[in-house]
Amino acid sequence: MNDNLHAMRHTSAHVLAAAVERLYPGVKFGVGPVVENGFYYDILFPEPISDDDLKTIEKEMKKIISEKHEMVREEISLDKAVSFFKEHGQDFKVELLKDLKEKGTTKIQTDETQDIDISKPDVATLYHTGDFVDLCRGPHIENVKDVGAFKLWKIAGAYWRGNEKNPQMQRVYGLAFETQKELDEYLAMLEEAKKRDHRKLGTELELFTIIDEVGPGLPLFYPKGAILRRLIENFIMEQQEKRGYVPIWIPHITKGKLYEISGHLQKYDAMYPPMDLPDEAQYYLKPMNCPHFMMLYKSTAHSYRDMPMRWTCTTSCYRYEKSGELSGLTRVRSLTQDDCHVFLKSDQIEQEINLMLDMIDETYRAFGFKDFWVRVSTSDPNQKEKYIGDPKIWEESEAALARLVEGRGWKKEVGVGEAAFYGPKLDFMVKDVIGRQWQLSTIQLDMNLPERFELEYADSDGKAKRPVVIHRAILGSTERFMGILIEHYGGAFPMWLAPVQIRIATVSEDFVSFAQKLKTELSDAGVRVELDDSDMKVGKKIRNAAMMKIPWTIVIGEKETQGGAFDVNVFGQEEHITIGQDQLVGEISKASKQK
């Protein structure tokens, strides 16, 4: 985002607030930052508003823009600012100002965060938009007439400062771009995204559902969804096995002691409450798998000759995500990870990561993700005290990560200071077919858990050494990957991924026996096939198959039972294809291999 667009979006948030203040006396404002593609403002209305009210607010915003107000910056003392906002009933602004005065920061992770300028202590920055005055550090465009193209988009709930104990506000989202053309293109993308919404398609295509009696964030999968899961996970398993990864298995609960050792019990805030068992220690549902891998490694002796040890386990974890953050399959409380941990010597890091990059490359090609880039997260050389492990290993590892990504010609960005305290990492950002960006794979070097769990191996000199651990997930989680994949394809999966590859539809009852034999022949050949032998007219059967986005539909009538070639309705194509009866199994097998 360029600086001018950022300033335009920031100013649009102020125009929104100015319009709301005119329309709803007694309103209280939280913060209004710039976000991707626009802005939002957290507002406590005297009475909650609905999406129907957005047009009225937008109309008032346009009126304010037509008045061509300058964005006037003013600096006053913190005490005067507190008095001003208290007088105007803006309790949330008063709270922010008191934080500024007492702590030097508001501690809110948005663009509205203000830090006291040490060159101007005890000073707050205000911006005037006509009669409206807001607490803000800027920057803004000079005049509201230049805010560009915008549209109020939606309303969501938001607790003040993200704390459920605080008042619940309404977050009004707006879209903003430099030109109307860009806004129109983005709105068209949003309309396409609605059609592809995996939550909607999940129901329509009978893939998954979420049932209140089971619990939010706990998806259940219908047969077609379970088949899709299996196809995705089996692909990853095959990729791993041919590269020397071996499976392990771990339980879904554990004593709290394990997470005391790893540090998660003290610092990880998404764990489910413990299970208190009579005469037993407290047990927890596992939110991650790493500590189990560490303990299994530690249970036996290892030599440098064993390295690298590539262990993998596709297993579910359970995280108590906030209910307001749950979304279909992309944010759940029960997530299945294609988790892998490689135990290795430090001089093996480069070769192992190269092996992982091969797998990621092959996976993205197979699933149709062609546009992606990699963030290389490194340590901050000015804050070396934040990181653990041998500085030399850090330096070599960071250089190797960047070099390996560059060697493949992949786009990359270096995130200085974005590394975890225990090691540098690679995060893979993928764009789907309509241009939205998702984070999928991750590769993380870890010099912390081997230390905490006191892991060792016997080196060639006979001395005990600490291994390095690489955490690696390609899918990230099966559920989230499925949600992204459903939207990427709009539910119209390629043949190899389709839960049902062929639907056979009979013209009448006279041809059911032939269709049943064909179904058996295809099933025996490994084809995923359904038979529609209902009493519906054949046109309706074909339309139903198309609604389910099944790749091929074959109609069985008189011609077919007499040995004639099959006319195949291909989803998404107007023209049929014709396949001889003795060629059908071979053609479907051929189509299934095209990844």
Catalytic pick from 375, 471, 503, 541? 471
Between vectors from CA 449 to CA 445 and to CA 453, what angle results, nearest 5°? 150
Catalytic pick from 240, 337, 444, 501? 337
Q: What is the DSSP letter of 331?
A: B
Concatenating the DSSP letter of every residue in 2-23 gives: -HHHHHHHHHHHHHHHHHHHHH
341 catalytic residue (yes or no): yes
- Strand pairing class (246-247; 309-318): parallel
590 φ, ψ to 5°?
Answer: -65, -45
Say which residue the tokens 């806004």 belong to.
183
339 catalytic residue (yes or no): yes
Catalytic pick from 90, 196, 290, 317? 290
337 catalytic residue (yes or no): yes
Amino acid making up residue 502: I
Q: Name the maximum alpha-carbon separation found in the chain.
A: 92
103 catalytic residue (yes or no): no
| Cα distance between residue 93 and residue 91, in whole Å | 6
Q: What is the DSSP letter of 204?
A: H
Catalytic pick from 42, 111, 134, 339? 339
Say which residue the tokens 């920061």 belong to.
105
Rounded alpha-carbon distances, angstroms, from residue 194 to 188, 190, 224, 487, 492: 10, 6, 22, 9, 15
Catalytic pick from 319, 519, 528, 541? 319
Query: How far out from the chain centre does Cα 217 lie?
Result: 14
Q: Among 346, 310, 308, 302, which residue's Cα sits nearest to residue 453?
A: 302
| Cα distance between residue 476 and residue 426, in whole Å | 13
Catalytic pick from 229, 341, 472, 480? 341
Q: Are 504 and 554 in contact (CB under 8 A)?
A: yes
Q: Are 451 and 466 in contact (CB under 8 A)?
A: yes
Catalytic pick from 9, 69, 425, 528? 425
386 catalytic residue (yes or no): no
Tokens at residue 393, please? 């290993």
| Cα distance between residue 559 and residue 563, in whole Å | 7
6 catalytic residue (yes or no): no
| Strand order through the sheet with 71-77 | 71-77, 123-129, 132-135
Active site residues: 290, 319, 337, 339, 341, 425, 471
